[in-house]
Amino acid sequence: MGLSFLVPAFFAALAALAIPILVHLTHRSRREVVRFPSLRFLDQVPYRAVRRQRIRHWPLFLARCLALVLLALAFARPLLDRVGGVGGAGAGGTETVLLIDRSYSMGYGDHWQRAVAAARAVTDAVGPEDRASVVTFAEDASLAVEGTSDPTVLRLALDSLTPGAGRTRFAPALQVARQLLDQSRLPNRNVVLISDFQNQG
């Protein structure tokens, strides 16, 4: 199973993990000081415990760190190979259905270039005993290439694709993938989904 990110620059936000650490290390509980005339000399005794601050309330600390990690992951927009590459299957040929999101949001920044690069990594792994299909989708799904082992055909198909203007709907693409896999006689079957997972398009 492979995982990459369309906007990896957001991982720089993980530097913010230092914030909860500093909060815990510098936090000091407020204490009410009651002065007694006969005990004023105690003010001159250093409170050594504050010199060695320790992380307290571990559940709260870990929750803060986890929240920051999840936020960075969300903004980095994961690009997920749902099942794995062609080469990750067992013995025998592999039927792979490659689903590529070409909705409007995929045209943002370098999303499309990264998506095509990820798709090429999958198709380049197709061997003589394997077959791969390419399905593009936005609001509807379209079969660009059906069941081939020819790397040239797959490469040309990917080069001809461009992002569209519709919003993202996964159901039509998954239905096409299911139909293609149900028709396959190969022992191994994969579905690879490439998307920025933005339902609004």
Q: What residue segments make up the domains of the chain, in order of their start? A: 3-75, 78-194
The per-residue pLDDT string of the chain (201 residues; one tens digit each, 9 = 90 and over) reads 455 555 555 566 666 666 666 666 666 555 555 565 555 555 554 545 444 445 556 777 777 777 777 766 666 655 544 444 454 455 679 999 999 999 998 988 888 999 999 999 999 989 999 999 999 999 999 999 999 999 999 999 999 999 988 888 899 999 999 999 999 999 999 999 998 887 655
Instruction: Report residue 8 CA to chain centroid gap.
Output: 9
- Per DSSP, the residues of 50-83 read GGS-----HHHHHHHHHHHHHHHHHHH-EEE-SS
Helices (H) and strands (E) in the chain, counts: 5, 6
- In which residue are the tokens 């159901």 written? 171
End-to-end CA distance of the chain: 25
| CATH label, 78-194, candidates 3.20.20.70, 3.40.50.300, 3.30.70.270, 3.40.50.410 | 3.40.50.410
pTM of the entire predicted model: 0.57
Supply angle C-alpha 98, 116, 182, rounded to 5.
5
